[in-house]
């Protein structure tokens, strides 16, 4: 089939960076084995896939609303597939409720996409499927950055989270496969790699071939030896597993981006226990302080859930206290809402009044906003080093600093894929604007 005659694939991706990478794998597999080219126009698509997320609010309701809209927009003969975490836990119920869906593929079964795409009614949702040694077709989206999964699944039992029920037990991808994938990406122009896992710093505890255990710190050391790779990022680590060896490697390894995501979830030890997070307020503060002491330019980002069932005003004030002490550079804030198949559903009798939850969320957002409005202008006049990734239509280049702060400046495509010095002339709460120093 010629390029002009190739089939068209439209993918809508919801949720986390792992879903983004899964969608890249889906597109690459379908290109290699079924000659599908991606399109951004749903009306042109021969195949429409929605890659779902169970973490977002009301995922089931929104899924059926979205696939209903897809069905009205698609051209005659086009197929619809549902993939991802919501697919994993709903399975055949998706086709039962929406018969125009052609196939369902769970988050743990992405490697099977080429096998099911032409099978009407196919359902592949086993969370015991092991894709840890499957070599996906090469995927390329951002020319200068590669995303590489280092594990599948999650062994944690956080009471608010459905992920272990949709992605199965944690299995690490062999380090040699990870390094080889990164080498290929670098050969193809990548300068930065993002290592992905539900809990990256528990990497190496279980391999499907029963090999000896291997640490995430060792993986970071091995990845940093790849010639031509300039920057390493990863998400998400778990505060419980941030041991001294990991923190010291993070601090001293010049290739590791000095921005770390530390999901707090709550500053209250009592709520952390109810969430089954495994650490205390004091442990989190200790780890954050050690990182701040060792890395002067460190940026720390986090996730926080307010109004978890049973959260008292005192518990909430513990969260505000941690925010004030750690001084997070970015917070992804959420008001608790129940998720199917989670243990927290049993705490319905302890749920917080919605109005109180909304007030707490607003208080947290405003506290952090004030901090950023105070801190970000302090960067005006400084010089930062930026890896340039994109050229905007308005003639601005954009990229990120070593500690992963976005920067914009006037420039041209000659700077793409290069590190440039930028003098900061303006700052918002989330980004910097500057002038390239030639």
pLDDT in tens, 24-35: 999 999 999 999
| Exposed / middle / buried, residue 9 (Cβ in 10 Å: 0-12, 13-18, 19+) | buried
83 is in an annotated binding site: no
The single-letter DSSP state of residue 111 is: G
Whole-Å CA distances, 93 to 59, 104, 121: 14, 10, 11
Q: What percent of the chain has pLDDT over 90?
A: 84
Digit-coded pLDDT (tens) for 313-323: 999 999 999 99
| Exposed / middle / buried, residue 110 (Cβ in 10 Å: 0-12, 13-18, 19+) | buried
Pairing of strands 122-124, 231-235: unpaired
53 is in an annotated binding site: yes
161 is in an annotated binding site: yes
pLDDT band at 355 (very low <50, low <70, confident <90, very high): very high
Q: How far is C-alpha 265 from the chain's CA centre?
A: 16
Backbone angles phi, psi at 103, to 5 degrees: -155, 160
pLDDT at 1: 42
Section 217-223 average pLDDT = 98
Pairing of strands 79-84, 47-52: parallel
154 is in an annotated binding site: yes
pLDDT at 4: 52
Digit-coded pLDDT (tens) for 150-199: 999 999 999 999 888 888 999 999 999 999 999 999 999 999 999 999 99
């Amino acid at each position: 089939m010629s390029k002009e005659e190739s089939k068209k694939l439209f993918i809508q991706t919801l949720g986390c960076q792992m879903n983004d990478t899964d969608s890249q794998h889906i597109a690459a597999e379908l290109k290699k084995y079924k000659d599908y080219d991606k399109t951004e126009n749903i009306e042109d698509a021969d195949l429409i896939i929605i890659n779902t997320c169970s973490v977002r609010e009301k995922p089931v309701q929104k899924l059926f609303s979205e696939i209903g809209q897809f069905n009205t927009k698609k051209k005659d003969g086009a197929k619809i597939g549902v993939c991802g975490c919501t697919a994993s836990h709903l399975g055949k119920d998706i086709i039962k409720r929406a018969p125009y869906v052609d196939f369902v593929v769970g988050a743990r079964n992405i490697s099977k996409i080429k096998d099911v795409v032409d099978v009407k009614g196919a359902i592949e949702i086993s969370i015991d499927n092991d894709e840890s040694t499957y070599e996906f077709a090469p995927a390329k989206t951002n020319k200068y950055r590669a995303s590489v999964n280092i594990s599948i699944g999650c062994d944690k039992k956080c009471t608010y989270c459905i992920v272990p029920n949709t992605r199965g037990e944690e299995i690490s991808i062999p380090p040699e496969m990870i390094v080889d994938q990164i080498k290929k990406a670098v050969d193809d122009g990548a300068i930065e790699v993002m290592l992905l896992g539900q809990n990256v710093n528990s990497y190496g505890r279980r391999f499907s071939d029963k090999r000896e255990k291997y640490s995430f710190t060792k993986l970071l050391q091995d990845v940093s030896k790849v010639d031509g790779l300039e920057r390493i990022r990863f998400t998400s680590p778990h505060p419980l597993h941030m041991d001294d060896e990991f923190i010291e490697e993070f601090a001293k390894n010049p290739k590791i981006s000095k921005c770390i995501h530390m999901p707090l979830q709550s500053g209250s030890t009592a709520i952390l226990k109810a969430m089954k997070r495994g650490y205390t307020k004091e442990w989190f503060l200790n780890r954050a302080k050690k990182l701040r002491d060792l890395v002067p330019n460190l940026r720390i980002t986090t996730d926080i859930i307010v109004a978890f069932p049973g959260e008292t005003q005192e518990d909430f004030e513990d969260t505000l206290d941690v925010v004030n002490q750690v001084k997070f550079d970015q917070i992804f804030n959420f008001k608790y809402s129940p998720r199917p198949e989670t243990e927290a559903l049993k705490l319905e009798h302890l749920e917080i009044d919605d109005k109180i939850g909304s007030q707490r969320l607003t208080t947290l957002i405003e506290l952090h906003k004030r901090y950023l409005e105070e801190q970000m202008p302090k960067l005006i006049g400084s010089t930062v080093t930026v890896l340039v990734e994109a050229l905007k239509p308005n003639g601005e280049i954009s990229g990120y600093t070593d500690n992963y702060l976005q920067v914009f400046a006037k420039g041209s495509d000659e700077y793409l894929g290069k590190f440039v010095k930028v003098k900061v002339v303006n700052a918002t709460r989330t980004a910097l604007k500057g002038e390239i120093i030639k």
